[in-house]
Structure 1
Amino acid sequence: MNDSQVTIKLTGDEALVLSHWLEKLQMTDLSRVVDDPAVWAPIHRIAGTLDKTLPELFASDYDQRLESARQRLRPQD
């Protein structure tokens, strides 16, 4: 495969929830969750990109923002 790049677009809510989940994933032993070490680099790259672009991560009401985003993303029954 060539060195072409892929762009993924997320809403702010999606980015915030994914960023939180990736942070938790990175705090675990990745080898127990992700069996292919080749996947680790993209996981770290995505997490790092989200960390740099989400000002909410440093907001004093981060937990409230995260929970609100989760609620908006959950399917409505």
Structure 2
Amino acid sequence: MSDSQVTIKLTNDEALVLSHWLEKLQLTDLRRVVDDPAVWAPIHRIAGTIDTTLPELFAPDYDQRLEAARQRLRPEE
């Protein structure tokens, strides 16, 4: 089996919303939500990668930016 890498591209809005969700997930008892410990490493890697590339995470208006991103990503009814 090869250890080749996979690249995932996200928009800033997608990354911001996903980062917030992953943060909440990591703050829970991960074992209750994700029953396979093999999945924990990729979850932490994805979260860490997003956290180091999004300056919005540390912006004073983070909550407003997050909500705006959510609104843009939600499908119209």
Gap runs ≥5 in structure 1 = none
Aligned to 2:31: 31
Distance (Å, rounded) in 2 between the aligned partners of 1:48 and 1:67: 21
Post-superposition, which runs of at least 4 consecutive aligned residues in structure 1 deviate over 3 A? none
Identical positions, percent: 87
Q: State the aligned residue count.
A: 77
Determine whether 1:48 maps to 2:42: no
Aligned to 1:60: 60
TM-score after normalising by structure 2:
0.99
Gap runs ≥5 in structure 2 = none
Q: Deviation digits for residues 45-69 of structure 1, max 9, x if unmatched?
A: 0000000000000000000000000
TM-score after normalising by structure 1:
0.99
